[in-house]
């Protein structure tokens, strides 16, 4: 399952979780949020197979590790790229799975 880590850019103002919800909702997606603990929330767009583990500092998101499920992850990647660009966040894809496949 591919993972994409979202981190705020070096000059990005702090963002609440509602900023991510707003950006994904603005694209027409139904976004669900659940709180696991005071320092962790989950953000999910089921239609895209997208689920994010958000590390919180109070109301501010410090990082989100998104998991992408399904055979075609392009819609989820596109939605993340659009939201991240609007929020001025950086995306870093975990390429370990691709590296393991190259060894075969």
| 16-61 confidence digits (pLDDT tens) | 999 999 999 999 999 999 999 999 999 999 999 999 999 999 999 9
pLDDT grade for 88, boundaries at 50, 70 and 90: very high
pLDDT at 70 over 80: yes
Place of tokens 């197979």: 49
Dmax (CA) for the chain in angstroms is 44
* pTM of the model as a whole: 0.86
Annotated domain spans of the chain: 3-102
* DSSP-based three-state secondary structure for 7: strand
> What is the β-pairing status of strands 50-57 and 40-45?
antiparallel
Burial of 32 (0-12, 13-18, 19+ CB in 10 A): exposed
Closest by Cα among 43, 41, 47 to 76: 47
Question: Distance of alpha carbon 48 from its chain centroid, rounded?
Answer: 12
pLDDT at 104 over 70: no
Give me the CATH topology for the region 3-102. TATA-Binding Protein (3.30.310)
């Amino acid at each position: 399952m591919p993972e994409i880590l979202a981190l705020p850019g070096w000059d990005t103002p702090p963002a609440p979780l509602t900023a991510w919800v707003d950006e994904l909702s603005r694209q027409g997606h139904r976004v669900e949020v659940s709180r696991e603990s005071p320092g962790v929330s989950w953000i999910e767009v089921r239609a895209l197979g997208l689920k994010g583990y958000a590390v919180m500092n109070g109301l501010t998101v410090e990082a989100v590790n998104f998991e992408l499920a399904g055979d075609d992850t392009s819609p989820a990647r596109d939605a993340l790229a659009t939201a991240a660009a609007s929020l001025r966040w950086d995306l870093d894809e975990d390429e370990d799975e691709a590296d393991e496949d190259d060894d075969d």
